[in-house]
Amino acid sequence: MSDKRAVEVGAVSFSERLASSQMFATLFRDGMALVEETAAYLDGAGRLESKKLERAASLVYATESMRLTTRLMQLASWLLLHRAVKEGEMTLAQANKEKGKVRLAACEPGDAKSLSLLPEKLQALIARSTKLQAEVRRLDATMHAAPDLKVAQDNPVERQLGLLKAAFESEA
């Protein structure tokens, strides 16, 4: 089936649907809640906990809290960009151009030995943020996968299977 024929019969764009899915809505809600929870912790209890740390742990705390904040701001940017797609404020193609400004691989956490020096709450926030980052990266790979025109012309189901495969492959 040609691309023109797919448009004529009203082929569904998996990527466009994904931006409007319940999965995205849940990811958006959870991601923005994590941003708020992290900000509240770092401005409140985290600040108090950091003052009780030894010098080496204090340096790790400063570094990891900065990495965490940067990671969450990048993820929030991606989520807000794709919420705009969901709400019809921009197309997925426009979002694809804009997402180049967002670094989903930014600020990986430090090594496990360093992280073990941190308060438990901060460790938990870091773990949750890296899990969110992995979920967003998978969704991003799925939503913005380059279409294989040969596959799309020969078999539209094969293209959708390829998108599903990309969604479940993890980036190393």
If you average pLDDT over every residue of the chain, what do you get?
81
In this prediction, residue 156 carries a pLDDT of 76
Q: Does position 67 have pLDDT exceeding 80, yes or no?
A: yes
Extents of the domains making up the chain: 13-165
Q: Does position 47 have pLDDT exceeding 70, yes or no?
A: yes
CA distance 57 to 63: 10
CA distance 85 to 103: 19
Average pLDDT over residues 86-115: 83
Average pLDDT over residues 49-54: 94
What's the CATH architecture for 13-165? Orthogonal Bundle (1.10)
Beta carbons within 10 angstroms of residue 167's beta carbon? 17
Q: Does position 146 have pLDDT exceeding 90, yes or no?
A: no
The helices-and-strands tally (H runs, E runs) of the chain is: 10, 0
Confirm if 162 and 148 have CB atoms less than 8 A apart: yes
Nearest CA among 4, 29, 6 for reference residue 159: 6
Q: Does position 170 have pLDDT exceeding 60, yes or no?
A: no
Tell me phi and psi for residue 11, to 5 degrees: -60, 140
In this prediction, residue 94 carries a pLDDT of 87
pTM here? Answer: 0.72
Nearest CA among 147, 27, 128 for reference residue 163: 147
Q: Does position 102 have pLDDT exceeding 80, yes or no?
A: yes
Confirm if 125 and 150 have CB atoms less than 8 A apart: no
